[in-house]
Amino acid sequence: MRDERVEAKREAASLDEPAAEARQLAERLGLEPYPVRYWVVDHDEMNELIAYGGFQRRYPHWRWGMNYERQRKKDRHGLGKAFEIVNNDDPSHAFLQESNSAADQKAVITHVEAHADFFANNRWFGLYADRGEDGPNAAARLERNADRIAAIADRPAVDRDEVERLIDAVTALEDTIDQHSPVDAARSVEEPGIAEDVNDPDEDPLAAIEERIAELDLSEEVRRDVFDDEWLEARGEGVEPEEPRPDVLAFLRDHGKRYDPESGKSVDREPWETTVIDALREEAYYFAGQKQTKVMNEGWATYWESVMMGGEGFAGPDEFLTYADHMSRVLGSPGINPYKLGFELWSHVELRAARRDVIDKLLRVEGVTPENFHSRVDLDEVADALEPHPAIAGAGPATLDELAELAADGDPRVDAEAIDRALSARSEGPPETDGDWESDPDDGPDIERYPWKLLTREGLAERHYVLSRPEHRGALRNVSRETLTERARYMFDIDRYATVDEALADVDRAAGWDRMLEVRESHNDVTFIDAFLTDEFVREGNYFTYEYSRATEQHRVASVDADDVRKKLLLRFTNFGKPTVVVLDGNFRNRGELLLGHQYNGVALDEESAKATLERVFELWGRPVNLATIRVEYSDEAIRRAKRRGTEPKGEEVGVRFQYDGGEVTAHDLDPEIKERIAADEVDYDTKPDDWLA
Amino acid sequence: MGLTEDRERFREVGEERREDLAEFISHGDLGGSDPDRVRIPVKIVDLPEFEYDQREAGGVGQGQDGQPQPGQPVEPEPDGDEEGDPGEEGGEHEYYEMDPEEFARELDEELGLDLEPKGKRVVEEVEGDFTDTARAGPRGTLDVDEFFKRGLKRHLATDFDDEYVREGLFVAGAGVDDAFAWARDEGIPVSRAWIADAAATLAAEHGEPVAALDRWESFDALDDAVDREPVTQRIRREGLDSVPFRREDERFRHPEVIEKRERNVVVVNVRDASGSMRETKRELVERVFTPMDWYLTGKYDAAEFRYVVHDAEAWEVDREEFFGVQSGGGTRISSAYELVAEILEEYPYSEWNRYVFAAGDSENAGSDTTDAVIPLMESIDANLHAYVETQPGGAAPNARHADEVEEAFGDADNVAVARVSEPDDVTDAIYEILSTEADGDGGATAGEAARGRTDGGENR
C-alpha cells in the first residue's frame, strides 16, 4: 500500500540526506543512537500509529479504536497535529508526517535521533531491552502478541467477548507491576501459553498437588467435595509471599484462577488466558520504561534538537524561523509540559557540571580559597578566556585556513582528515552543484552547510560551551561561598596551578555534555526531578502547589516553596503517579483469598475506581479479593469547627478493607497489624501551610 | 484492517455486548463551565485503575503572571493523559472548544448557508436620536429652533395691519363695535379693546367721536380703496423687532423610542428513546443535534433549548440526560409532538423563532404518523420542522416515519427530512436541514428564476 504512494516516497527520498547528516552530527556530538528507520506517512496513517502507541500492529482491542477516534478528532480540528512518532526499538522506527514542512522534518529528525540515543542508553529502558542478542525486538514482540491474541479470539471454542474482558481486566492493572525490575524477574513460564499449566510444578506446591488430583481423573463433584479449595489452599504454602510482591500482575498470572459461575467454584484457567495475561504484562513492562522517563526523554530530544537545529544551523537560514516557531509552540504549551520541564532541567544539568569543573580548576590555583574566590579571581577575565577559539566558533569555509593550521599542530578539536579533504576540494575549484548529495565522494565535505564536519566532539563542545553562552555569562559570579566551600572540602592539596590561565587551560569544555550522558544513563523522571529541580527553576517558572481545602471546599494555592513543588511533582511521577498496590497475601484468612495492600503514603485512594478495579482483580484471581487501604475521615464536627476557625479540619486515618467476592464490594474494618504493614510514616506529600486560610 | 475492527468494537462499548463498561463511559458535557463555549464531545472509556483521590493528592500548577499567593483559589489542572507517546506533540485536551458564533460562521462558509434570523420579541425600548419633542424637560434640551418658530408663528398670527384696522374707524357712522365686527369678518386678529383704544386716541386727535369721522362711506368702499398689506410683506419692510416668546411655545427634545427586537429562538429537540434506539443510533442523533444547536446558538441573540424524549409516552428532560436516556417501551411519535405543542405555548410564534428537531429510527406505531403526527406538525407553527432518521446500516423496511413525513410535506420550505446511517452522513444531514430554512426566501427566488427561463424559451 505505502509503496504505491508516489508522494510519500518522494518525500522519503528527500529526507535521506538530512537523516544521514543528522545521524553523523548526533554521533559527532557524542550520542550513540540505535539505528533509525524513517517512514513518511499520511495523516490517517499517523493517526493509526498514534492509536497503536507507535506501532503498526497491536492485539485486537477497542481501546485502539478509541485512541484513533480521539486522535482523528484532534487532527481534524487542528488541536494537536502529530509531527512524528518514534518507537523504542533496535532499530527504532520513526514515522514522520507527510505534511510537515521541510524545516519541521529536519527538526523532527534531530529530535528522533536523540530519542533513539536515549532508548539505547537509558538503563530503565534497558530493563526491557537488555535481553542478550535479541535486543528489545519490540516491534516483533508486539506483533507476535497481536497475532497470538487475534488467533485466540478467532478460535471457535473461545468467546471473543471473554478475550476482550480479560484484556480489560489486565489493562486495569497494567501499572501494578514492578517497573524497577526486568520483565523476566518474576517470570515463571519460559514460553507463555505453550506450557500445559501456569506453573512449573516443582516451583509451586499447590500447582503440583492440583496436578496430581487432576491425574486421579475424578468427577467434578467428588473433586469438589473431597479436595475443596480450602483443603487445597491450606497446602499451598508457596502462595503466601513473605515479602510484599509489587508485581501484582505476575502474581495473578502465576496463582490466579477463574471463577466458574456454573459450579460456583474457582477453576483453572484455560492456557490461552495465561497467554493473554502474560503478553499484556510483557507489554506493560515495555511501556513502563517510556512512562518512567517521559520528562527526561522529551527534554533530552528537545535539547539536542536545539543544539543541532539552532546551534549547528541544521535548519537552513530560510527554515530557521519555522523551526523557531515550532520549538516555541512545543515548549510553550501550558501546564506541566514534559518538553519544557525536561529541556530546562537538562540545561541546568549541563550548566551545573560545567560550572563545577571551572570552580574545581580555579580553586586549585595557588592562593585561591573559597573565602577569597570572588575577590582574587577576575571573573570577567575568566569569562573572556572561556570564549571559544574564533576559528572554532566560526568554523566554515572562511576559517578553513586557520583550522588547517590548528590541524597541522595536531589540535584535537579539529578533524584533520575532513579539513584535508575540504582543502583539496577547494584547490580543485568549486564542485559541480547539481544538488545531488551522493555525488563524487572526492568532492570533500559540504562545509558551507555542514561546518561541523570540520570539528571533533571536543571542538563542538567548545563551540557550544555553556558558560560562553550569553545567558550564562553570570553563572560563575553567582556561585555562593557555600558551594565553593563544599567543593573545596573534597579537594586534595595537590595538582596546584600556578596561575588562573594555567587552570583555565585545563578546563574541560565537554564536562557539561559528559555529565548529561551519565545522567541519561542512570536516571528516571523521579530521580531526575529530585536531583535537579532547583529553587531558581520553581521561582522563574512561577510554579506552585495546590491543595483541596475542605473548609472552603475549593482548591487553593498551597505553597510556592521549591521543596514543596518538588515533593508534589515527585508524587506525580513516582510509580507513574499512581498509588503503589502490592500483594500482601495469597492465602488470606487461610481461605485462598487475595489480599492486596495499598502502601499508604498520606494520599488516599480514589475509592470508586479502587472498587471497580478490585472487581477486575477478581476476574484474574477467581476467589474473593481484598484490598487493604487507609482512608482519611473527617467528622462533620471537625469540619464545622474548622470552618468557624478558618482552619483546615484534621482528619483521622482509618484502616479499611474492601472485599469483593463476585457480588457487591463490601467495606470492613482493617486488622491493625495489616494497617501497620501498609502505612508509611516518613513520607508526607501535604504542602498545606499551617496558617493557610488565615 | 485490525483498527477498523477495533473502532467497531469501541462503538459497541456500553452496548448490550459490553454493557459492563457503560459505567466507565464519559461523554463531554456540552454546556461546559463557560456558557459561551461549546465543546465537541468525545466518548471516552476510562478503564478503572488504582489511582489517587484527586482532592487528597493536590497538584502543581504554573502561574501565568507572577507567582500566586498561597491561599488564593485555583482551578485544579485537569488530569492530563499520562500515557503520552514519545514524540507526540500537542495538547492533550479531550475537548475541542469553539465559540458558537465562530462555529456558525464556519458552518455558513463550509456549507454555503445563509440563514438570516428574524427579530421577533420586543425586548427593550432603546433611545434613538433626540428627534421627538415634549412640552417639558430639562432646560438643556430646549429646542430653540422650535421655540423661535412657534413664537414667530404666534407673532404672525396675532400681528395685523393696524393702519388698515384704524381706517375702519373712519367709515361713516361706524363705532367701535361696528369696526370690531368688520375686522373680525375680515379675519383680522384684533381685539375689541385694541379698537376701543384706537378709537379713543383718534377721538382725542380729531376732537369728535369716531362715529362722526366719515372718510369712507361704507366698509365696502374702504375695502375697495385700501389694500391690506400681508404680514410677511410688512415684516420684511419693517423688520422683526420682537417675537413674543411664551412658555407654551417651549418644546424640549427627547430621544426617539425604538423597539428593539431580539433574534430569539426556541429549539425543541425530540428524541426517540424507545428500546430500538441503541447506542450507535443515539450517538448519531447527538452528532447531528449538537452542531445544529450550536449553529442556532451562534446565529441568534438568545436561544432556549427544550428536550423531549419519548417512547410511547413523551416527557421532558435536561440536556445532560437527553442523549443518554433509554427506555424500554414502544414508540408513538405523536406523543412527543403533543408535548411539543404544549411546550411551545410558552413561546408564541409572533415572538419567537421556533425549531422542532426530532430524531429516531423512523419506527412508529401503526398509522400514528399519518393520523396524528402529520396533522400535529401542520398545526405547530415553526420556522422549521426537521426529522432526522438515524438508521445505521440503511433504512429498515417497516420504519416508514421519515418517508411518510416526506411524502406529506413534499418540498415544503419548513419541513426537512434527513437520513443518517453513519457519522460521515452527519454533515450532509445538517446541510439538508439548515438549508431548508435558509432557502425559505431563496427557494422562491430560485422558482422564479426557473420560470423566467421557461418564459425566455417561449419568447424566442
DSSP letters, A485-540, are HHHHHT--S-S-BSSHHHHHHT--TTHHHHHHHHHHHH--HHHHHHHH--HHHHHH
Taking 70 as the threshold, does the pLDDT of residue B84 lie above it? no
Tally of structural domains, chain A: 4
Residue A688, domain member (yes or no): no
Q: Cis before residue A91, ω within 30 degrees of 0? A: yes
Q: How many residues would you count in chain A?
A: 694
Q: Do B50 and A175 touch (CB under 8 A)?
A: yes
Which residues in chain B touch residue A74, judged by CB atoms under 8 angstroms apart? 90-91, 96
Tell me what the mean pLDDT of segment B262-280 comes to. Answer: 82
Q: Is the Cβ pair B60, A51 closer than 8 Å?
A: no
pLDDT band at residue A529 using 50, 70 and 90 as cut-offs: very high
Buried-exposed string B284-294: b where 16+ CB fall within 10 A, e elsewhere: bbbbbbbbbbb
B179 and B290 fall within a common domain:
no
Is B372 a member of any domain? yes
Same domain for B329 and B440: yes
Q: What does each C-alpha distance from A504 to A364, A381, A383, B126 come to in angstroms?
A: 11, 10, 10, 80
Residue A127 within any structural domain of the chain: no
Q: Is B424 on the interface with A (CB under 8 A)?
A: no
Interface of B with A in 1-30 (CB under 8 A): 2-3, 5-13, 17-18, 20-21, 23-24
Quick one: B240 and B377 in the same domain? no
Residue B31: the pLDDT is 30
Residue of chain B whose Cα is closest to the Cα of A554: B73
Q: Tell me, yes or no, whether B335 and B440 share the same domain.
A: yes
The more confidently predicted of residues A506 and A69 is: A506
Answer yes or no: do A470 and A584 share one domain. Answer: no
- Cβ–Cβ under 8 Å, residues A175 and A578: yes
Both B270 and B402 in one domain: the answer is yes
Q: Which of A80, A88, A108 sits opposite B91 (nearest CB)?
A: A80
CB–CB of B10/A154 below 8 Å? no
- Shared domain for B35 and B2, answered yes or no, is yes
* Measured distance CA(A431)–CA(A424) in Å, rounded: 11
Evaluated on CA atoms A190, A191, A192, A196, the torsion sign reads: negative
Domain that holds residue A515: 342-525
The verdict on B227 and B274 lying in the same domain is no
Q: For A659, phi and psi rounded to 5 degrees?
A: -130, 145
Say what the alpha-carbon torsion angle B100, B102, B103, B107 is, to the nearest 10 degrees.
Answer: 140
Domain assignment present for residue A106? The answer is: yes
Contact list in B for residue A338 (CB cut-off 8 A) is 84
User: Is residue A185 domain-shared with residue A72, that is, in the same domain?
Assistant: no
What is the residue whose three cell numbers read 518525500?
Answer: A11
- Total number of domains constituting chain B: 3
Asked whether the CA dihedral A146, A150, A151, A153 is positive or negative, the reply is positive
Say which DSSP state B60 is in: E
Answer yes or no: do B271 and B364 share one domain. yes
Instruction: Give the model's pLDDT for residue A456.
Output: 95
Residues A285 and A320 in one domain: no
pLDDT over 50 at A539, yes or no: yes
Rounded distance between C-alpha atoms, residue B60 and residue A560, angstroms: 10
- Report how far residue A296's alpha carbon sits from residue B445's, in angstroms, rounded to the nearest whole number: 65
Same domain, A503 and A380: yes
- Cβ contact, residue pair A63, B10, below 8 Å: yes
**Are A309 and A252 in a shared domain?**
no
pLDDT tens-place string over residues B209-253: 777 777 777 778 777 777 777 777 777 776 666 666 777 777 777
Report yes or no on B135 lying in a domain: no
Closest CA in chain A for residue B13: A62
CA distance A581 to A614: 11
CB A506, CB A361: distance < 8 Å: yes
Between residues A301 and B121, which one has the greater pLDDT? Answer: A301
Choose the closest CB to B60 out of A150, A545, A555.
Answer: A545
Confidence of residue A693 (pLDDT cuts 50, 70, 90): low
Mean pLDDT of A109-126: 93
Domain presence at residue A690:
no
Which residues are CB-contacts of B309 (< 8 A; sequence separation ≥ 6)? Answer: B270, B271, B272, B273, B315, B317, B321, B322, B325, B327, B336
Q: Are B74 and A542 within 8 A, CB to CB? A: no
Within a domain: residue A458? yes
Residue of higher predicted confidence among A614 and B151? A614
By C-alpha distance, the chain A residue nearest B43 is A66
* Domain co-membership, A349 together with A489: yes
Tell me: do A463 and A587 sit in the same domain: no
Has residue B64 been placed in a domain?
Answer: no
User: Between the CA of residue B316 and those of A383, B272, B327, what are the distances in Å?
Assistant: 76, 12, 13
At residue A203, the pLDDT reads: 47
**What's the confidence (pLDDT) of residue B96?**
43
Label residues B145-170 b or e (16+ Cβ within 10 Å = b). eebeebbbebbeeebbbeebbbbbbb
Average pLDDT over every residue of A41-48: 88
- Asked if residue A300 and residue A185 are part of one domain, the reply reads no
B66 vs A161, A335, A542: nearest CB: A542
Same-domain pairing of A366 and A469: yes
What residue numbers bound the domain in which B12 lies?
1-51
Residue B353 belongs to some domain of the structure? yes
Q: Which residue of chain B has the CA closest to A576?
A: B82
d(CA A674, CA A651): 20
pLDDT tens, A228-268?
Answer: 555 555 444 445 556 889 999 999 999 999 998 888 889 99
In a domain, A140, yes or no: no
Residue with cell 452528532: B287
Is B72 part of any domain?
no
Residue B256: pLDDT over 80: no
Q: CB pairs below 8 Å between A and B: how many?
A: 265
Sign of CA dihedral A54, A57, A58, A60: positive
Pairing of strands B264-272, B353-360: parallel
Question: Is the pLDDT higher at A515 or at B299?
Answer: A515
pLDDT digits over B421-445, tens only? 877 777 778 888 887 765 443 333 3
CATH of the domain at B288: 3.40.50.410
Q: Is residue A349 domain-shared with residue A434, that is, in the same domain? A: yes
pTM for this structure?
Answer: 0.66
Q: pLDDT tens digits for B24-55? A: 766 543 333 343 444 555 677 889 999 999 88
A248, A605 in Cβ contact below 8 A? no
Percent of chain B surpassing pLDDT 70: 73
Q: Which residue has the higher pLDDT, B218 or A423?
A: A423
Q: Are residues B149 and B5 in the same domain?
A: no
Residue B376 lies in a domain: yes
**Both B162 and B305 in a single domain?**
no
**Could you tell me if residue B214 is inside a domain?**
yes
Q: Is residue A152 part of a domain?
A: no
Same domain, B276 and B421: yes
Residue A110 forms part of a structural domain: yes
Domain boundary among B208, B225, B252: B252
Say yes or no for a CB contact (<8 Å) between B73 and A555.
yes
Residue A460 has pLDDT above 90, yes or no: yes
Q: Is residue B319 part of a domain?
A: yes
Residues A316 and A255 in one domain: no
Let me know whether A251 and A270 are in one domain.
yes
Give, in order, the Cα–Cα distances in Å from B179 to each of A108, B17, B194, B197: 113, 114, 11, 12
As a whole number of angstroms, the distance between CA A361 and CA B337 comes to: 88
Same domain, B374 and B402: yes
Which residue reads 458564533 in cell numbers?
A: B101
